[in-house]
Amino acid sequence: MQTIKKLIADKLVEGICALGAPQAPEASELVGMLEYPPDDTMGDLALPCFKLSRTLRRAPVQIAAALAECLGNMPSVEKAEAVNGYLNITVSKDYLVNTVLGGIIEAGEAYGSSEVGKGKTVVLDYSSPNVAKPFHIGHLGTTVIGHSLKKLHEFHGYKCVGINYLGDWGTQFGKLIVAYKKWGNKEMIEQGGIDKLVELYVKINNAISGNAEQGIVADPTLGDAARAEFKKLEMGDEDNLALWRWFIDISLAEYEKTYKQLGITFDSYKGESFYTDKMPAEVQKLRDKGLLKIDDGASIVDLEPYGMPPCLILKRDGSTLYPTRDIAAAVYRKNTYDYDKSIYVTSAGQSLHFAQWFKVVELMGYDWHDKLVHVPYGTVSINGAKLATRTGNVVLLKDLFRAAIEEVSNIMTEKNPNIENKEEIAEAVGVGAIVFYYLSNSRIKDINFVMEDALNFDGNTGPYAQYTYARTCAVLRRAEGEAAPTSLSITAPDEAALLKVLAKFPEKVSAAIADYEPSVITRYILDVAAAFNRFYHNCQILSAEDPDVRATRVAITRATNVVLGNAFPLICMKKMEKI
């Protein structure tokens, strides 16, 4: 509706000037003032005239009446009415059929995109799991929100760099090396993969700290041994380095399987270890600027004036910390990519960490500090159960996906047993169901995952959205090879209603980017699906007798196919032509 809003706004500028405005208003401001009425019987757009009444020194009712007259003869406007100080506008059928419908079909894959980001670079840091720790449902958020934001920005013409900032450094590797030497061997890891690594990791944690439930007594000497092994790794010990690289490769191979199911690729896998030799320069800079304070032996940046606890830079033994690495990585990425925006997607639990080191970067005098954006999201629980990480009591992402795929496969065996590519479809629909369910919520809200809800083919779910897309494909397959329509015309209210929803796609994309909120797209897909299914049930498409009516309806189906087809990848959902 953005295009029609602009057309109307331009005309409104004329009308407002004619009413004696001391200064011509900006059309863009009027675009912003145009609202969607709560009920579509009132029209498609509404302009509240109360604010204008101050500058024009007239009653809102009078202004609305005058502007209604001014819009009256626009071909794109069917009706403009003044109601209680509001100007209610109904878009014309001619506009819907020629400009909206024609425009969507002509633009095709480009519909909804823009070039506002052309020449600008956005760096996105997301997924970023910690190697050898379980890749669990808590990582779903960063992975799919991050990738959606990447897709959305690309759709707006930005050059995007997706970075998987692997947690590939830290004392956990010392623990893992001890555990491996004590309980593991090569074949065991080669066969068991990341699951075995996680098992070893859980076992060593239990052994170090003890586990009363399992009758394990704490053995602090193992903690010392782990620290010693990590120290050796830091000093470049060849054997430990080889083990470390191997653990990373094993883990990455596993993550890749999950990324592939989601259709996600990264442009860089530079993890925390990459920044080891880049931190000293930043620490020195902090020191030179007089920002470092010694507190109980540790080096910190005092953030009290900004209402935050201190940011820890070096531990007492001189080793670096999570914020130190993030600072060095931000500088490196700025130098490498010269980003206009650098986005970090993590759970809200890390909000303070980001606020702290963003402030430190500002205090260091880096003028790009305002290009850093933290995008937090809420927690996930499954059927009400919270997740624990260290004890190994977690739901792994791959298990969740497997369960969903199996379930979809069973449903398909019942509903459509002879379909080709059953496995591929079951995977896309099963994984898509989880992603869609997750991304239906505002990202900051905590969510409770209920599998049956996610997979409900009749609910507002991913399978329902995919089913709707497949339905548009089926209609188009049957209409293939038909002659182009001679003239298009709208003859039913459900046609107009659907086109009005389709017209909103570009502004939904803009809103999703502005708020870093993929759920805007997810919810919009549901609006499209609902409007299409109403149209599908109430209007005959292929069986319509009048060739123009039939052609118009096929074209509307094609436009729906374009919009859903463009929207799905923006939320990491694959599109399937048949389900």
Binding site for ligand ARG (CB under 6 A): 125, 128-130, 165, 167, 326, 344, 346
Q: Of 296, 316, 315, 295, nearest to 304 (Cα)?
A: 295
Measuring CA to CA, which residue among 378, 379, 406, 388 is closest to residue 134? 388
Minimum distance from residue 354 beta carbon to ligand ARG (Å): 8
CB 166, min distance to ligand ARG, A: 7
How far apart are CB 26 and ligand ARG at their closest, in Å? 40
- Nearest-approach distance from CB 167 to ligand ARG, in angstroms: 4
Nearer to ligand ARG, 346 or 440 (CB): 346
Nearer to ligand ARG, 60 or 162 (CB): 162
Question: 128 or 466: whose CB is closer to ligand ARG?
Answer: 128
Task: Give residues with Cβ within 8 angstroms of 443, minimum separation 6.
Answer: 141, 145, 375, 376, 377, 378, 516, 517, 518, 519
Element (H, E) at 397: helix 397-415
How many angstroms separate the CA atoms of 329 and 130, rounded? 16
Q: What does the angle CA 113 – CA 114 – CA 116 come to, to the nearest 5 degrees?
A: 145
Return the number of the residue (183 or 269) whose C-beta is nearest ligand ARG. Answer: 269
Tell the smallest beta-carbon distance from residue 332 to ligand ARG (Å): 12
Calpha distance 99→215 (Å, rounded): 72
**Shortest approach of ligand ARG to residue 363 CB, angstroms?**
19
Q: CA 152, CA 146: separation in Å to the nearest integer?
A: 10
Task: List the beta bridge partners of residue 544.
Answer: none
When the beta carbons of 89 and 314 are compared against ligand ARG, the nearer one is 314
Coil, strand or helix at 327 = helix
Q: Which is nearer to ligand ARG, 345 or 554 (CB)?
A: 345
Using CB positions, name the residue nearest to ligand ARG. Answer: 167
Q: What's 495's DSSP letter?
A: H
Q: Are 139 and 441 in contact (CB under 8 A)?
A: no
Q: Smallest distance, Å, CB 472 to ligand ARG?
A: 38
Q: How far is the CB of 388 from ligand ARG (least distance, A)?
A: 15
CB of 175 or CB of 558, closer to ligand ARG: 175
Within 10 A of 188 (CB to CB), how many other CB atoms are there?
Answer: 14
Burial of 495 from C-beta contacts in 10 A (0-12 / 13-18 / 19+): buried
Nearer to ligand ARG among residue 353 and residue 402 (C-beta): 353
